[in-house]
Amino acid sequence: MTHILTVNPNELVNKAAEELKKQKLVEPTEWSQFVKTGHHKQRLPDSEDWWFYRAAAILRSIARLGPIGTQKLRTKYGGKKNRGHKPEHRYSASGSIIRKVLQQLEKSELIKQTEKGVHKGRVLTPKGTSFLDKIAVQIAKQQYKDSKQ
């Protein structure tokens, strides 16, 4: 788990998204090409693979913050809405997208539901930890090679 938090988060999420897509661990829903990622957004996501990137980002968030639930993730991925001349308001991200991604990650056995004291939510399974750790180790080795040259 230490490798997961030490490497560059952007690289980790990008590589994890590629792996999720390659191994078919998550699949975009049929409606995913028509939706915004939240009420605060004005347009649809630019990337066609945005579902995989969101799933990878959620997986990393669970590794870092778990146990964590849908509501906390909605807050994390939310943002400010431009309301014209009125003051901006903060809105949560789409709960449906996050819920479906969590269910798919659970089905792939990368995460599981748990309770730790008063905290309920999802945490990484050993399979999920090794999935992210392998990617993090690859990134760390690549960074080490690049720094040697």
pLDDT at 106: 86
Half-sphere exposure of 65 (CA within 13 A, CB side): 14
pTM, to two decimals: 0.84
Q: Would you state the CATH architecture of domain 2-148?
A: Orthogonal Bundle (1.10)
pLDDT (tens digit, 9 = 90+) per residue, 138-149?
Answer: 888 887 777 776
* Torsion angle of C-alpha atoms 125, 111, 107, 113, degrees rounded to 10: 110
Sort strands 79-81 and 89-91 into parallel, antiparallel or unpaired.
antiparallel
Please state the domain extents for the chain: 2-148
Work out the pLDDT band at 2, boundaries 50, 70, 90.
low
